[in-house]
Structure 1
Amino acid sequence: MPTVPAGAPLPSPREPYEHRSTAESFGSDAERYDRVRPGYPEALVRRIVRGSPGRDVLDVGCGTGIAARQFRAAGCAVLGVEPDVRMAEVARRLGTEVEVSAFEAWESAGRRFDAVVAAQSWHWVDPVAGAAGAAGVLRPGGRFAAFWHVFGPPAEVAEATATACRRAMPDSPFDFAALARPSTDPYRPVLDRTREGLHEAGGFGEPEEWSFAWERSYTRDAWLDVLPTQGTLTRLPAHALTGILAEVGSAIDAMGGHFTLRFTTVAISAVRTDDRPDRPASRAAAGRAGGRPARP
């Protein structure tokens, strides 16, 4: 879910892409991010690949290349676009070709793709300029797909996290109590805005939504390795983060030292139609930003 660092204004759930500093805070520990963040259901990857006319994939906001590696393993040629050079460096080292840019300002140089995907990243892209850019680089019949993980830790872990975060960040505008009462559909505003962006940009058939349920077990140490990569915590001072991890760790110890986390990966996808002329991504973004490329 889009989150904000301590002391920052709370973004509208419909416009998290305006908070670029938060979007680019995950690279503060890119190696850890790649090591601990989960991949994506193979069924989702197969559905995108089988529903695309070919194997050329553009990965928007590719991060360290977690999803890109899965598409490469499925036989695809993948190009990543990533605004954070630290994340891009890890992705390149692990075999993904990456160009450093915000997607709204990226130059396609006439290249075309069979699929444009965004794994845990499309909420950081202007939904209309992004959709126009995706339409401009997709071949007719090509597929756009953006997807996110929805999950909620056990109540004991969620409550300990909320309490510790309130103590460490008393002035934060973030509603930490929401951690203890997770929404059953936290990405609904993002999914709806993505759908609206696809409609407004044009060039796509009617979007459809998919979901994939799965689970993963975490030990105490494994979960405490994940927590610093969450958006609320990526910019915390070390001493504050240490206190939060200690409190959450105690809660997991009381549960026997491990727990099972249930995930649902939600996706919105649409197929590029042939009802509009191709436009380069950069021109689409410029139109949205009043004649200038969108701010990276």
Structure 2
Amino acid sequence: MPTVPPERARPSERESHQHRQAAESFGSDAERYDRARPRYPEAMVDRIVAGSPGRDVLDVGCGTGIAARQFQAAGCTVLGVDADARMAALARQLGSEVEVEVATFEAWDPAGRTFDVVVAGQAWHWIDPVAGAARAARVLRPGGRLAAFWNVGEPPPEAAEAFAAVYRRVLPDSPFNLQGTAKAALDGYQALFTKAADGIREAGGFSAPEQWRFDWEWSYSRDAWLDQLPTQGAFTRLPPDTLAQVLEGVGAAVDAMGGGFTMRYATVAVTAARTGAA
């Protein structure tokens, strides 16, 4: 989700990893998802690979293979796991050497296989943080690295305010935090970073988790921004007429800014190394 933080925390609601319908909604337009979603900084990919004992990568929640192809380009062999068969099929199609197995990570059978790296791009919040970390520990070789990472978009203030006004008008009861400001985005994701780190600590078998941050920018035209907006979790299950209202309002806001804007991204990885014997 480039600019939309995860669902607001409410004591009576389930954790994000229990919202299976939301987690598995992205495959409704897998081609758009792959085309429009932002990639990840090469510097992060290189640092993850450099901090691992080898180049056998397990990509958890691999989706259409965006991160998998980037790790392949860095010289890695990648196996993907995804709960959505539609996303997995496109990942196989687009990555000539990407193998993908369809399963939730918690239920996935590694069949004795082990890896040097377990990564999860924009997906770890859909996985039980303790069970996921424990499973990662079981499949990682000694010294292997777990790295869960997210792109967090920080739109210009005028864009954030304009988009938030559209969301308040069209989606006043959304369970997602749609304030749209850079601070809201980072604050919303910080809860995910903390939860991921706490899960790693509770699962055991890892060094102390760290946060790595990589800052970069990407310029969007009106059409490019509207292309990716329906792939965000807040919008994937909206009725078509409601989504059309969102796109119309956001498109008008981008037009008012001159037809485009530059997004500042912070890509944050929560990462730890496997300790002890295999």
Give me the TM-score of the superposition, normalised by structure 2.
0.92
Which residue pairs with 2:191 in the alignment?
Answer: 189
| Cα RMSD after superposing both structures | 2.1
Work out the CA distance in 1 between the residues paired with 2:140 and 2:169: 47
Amino acid at match of 2:180: L
Work out the CA distance in 2 between the residues paired with 1:186 and 1:173: 13
Whether the 8 Å CA contact 1:14–1:189 is kept in 2: the answer is: no
**Partner SS, residue 179 of structure 1:** coil
Whether the 8 Å CA contact 1:208–1:268 is kept in 2: the answer is: yes
1:146 is aligned to 2:148:
yes
The 1:9/1:187 distance shift into structure 2, 3 A limit, reads: closer
Give the superposition deviation at 1:24.
0.9
The 1:180/1:141 distance shift into structure 2, 3 A limit, reads: closer
Work out the CA distance in 1 between the residues paired with 2:11 and 2:164: 19
Which residue pairs with 1:179 in the alignment?
Answer: 180
Question: Which of 220-229 and 149-158 deviates more?
Answer: 149-158
Give the superposition deviation at 1:15.
2.5
Which residue pairs with 2:128 in the alignment?
Answer: 126
Q: How many residues are treated as equivalent by the alignment? A: 272
Give the superposition deviation at 1:133.
0.2
Deviations for 1:4-44, whole angstroms, at most 9, x for unmatched residues?
5xxx9968899311111111111111100000101100000
Whether the 8 Å CA contact 2:6–2:189 is kept in 1: the answer is: no
Give the superposition deviation at 1:242.
1.2
After TM superposition, list the pairs within 5 Å mapping 1:157-236 onto structure 2: 157-176=159-178, 178-180=179-181, 182-183=183-184, 184-236=186-238
Work out the CA distance in 1 between the residues paired with 2:248 and 2:10: 26
Amino acid at match of 1:224: L
Which residue pairs with 1:32 in the alignment?
Answer: 32
Whether the 8 Å CA contact 2:153–2:182 is kept in 1: the answer is: no
Work out the CA distance in 2 between the residues paired with 1:143 and 1:64: 22
Q: Structure 1 unaligned runs (5+)?
A: 279-296
Deviations for 1:213-264, whole angstroms, at most 9, x for unmatched residues?
0000011111111111111111111111111111111111111111100001
Whether the 8 Å CA contact 1:10–1:173 is kept in 2: the answer is: no
Q: 2:267 aligns with which of 265, 268, 272?
A: 265
Amino acid at match of 1:146: A
The 1:201/1:70 distance shift into structure 2, 3 A limit, reads: same
After TM superposition, list the pairs within 5 Å mapping 1:109-124 onto structure 2: 109-124=111-126
Q: 1:244 aligns with which of 206, 231, 246?
A: 246
Give the superposition deviation at 1:2.
5.2
Q: Structure 2 unaligned runs (5+)?
A: none
1:69 is aligned to 2:69:
yes
**Partner SS, residue 180 of structure 2:** helix
Work out the CA distance in 2 between the residues paired with 1:149 and 1:62: 15
Work out the CA distance in 1 between the residues paired with 2:125 and 2:11: 12
Whether the 8 Å CA contact 2:137–2:274 is kept in 1: the answer is: yes
Work out the CA distance in 2 between the residues paired with 1:12 and 1:100: 31
Whether the 8 Å CA contact 2:67–2:121 is kept in 1: the answer is: yes
Work out the CA distance in 2 between the residues paired with 1:38 and 1:70: 12
Whether the 8 Å CA contact 2:5–2:188 is kept in 1: the answer is: no
Whether the 8 Å CA contact 1:123–1:190 is kept in 2: the answer is: yes
Work out the CA distance in 2 between the residues paired with 1:269 and 1:172: 31
Whether the 8 Å CA contact 1:9–1:173 is kept in 2: the answer is: no
Which residue pairs with 1:91 in the alignment?
Answer: 91
Work out the CA distance in 2 between the residues paired with 1:80 and 1:2: 25
Question: Which of 80-89 and 9-18 deviates more?
Answer: 9-18
Give me the TM-score of the superposition, normalised by structure 1.
0.86
The 1:75/1:223 distance shift into structure 2, 3 A limit, reads: same
Amino acid at match of 1:204: F
Give the superposition deviation at 1:123.
0.7
Work out the CA distance in 1 between the residues paired with 2:182 and 2:39: 25
Percent of matched pairs sharing the same residue: 63
**Partner SS, residue 34 of structure 1:** helix
Work out the CA distance in 2 between the residues paired with 1:172 and 1:105: 30
Which residue pairs with 1:23 in the alignment?
Answer: 23
Which residue pairs with 1:285 in the alignment?
Answer: none
**Partner SS, residue 208 of structure 2:** coil
Work out the CA distance in 2 between the residues paired with 1:11 and 1:222: 36
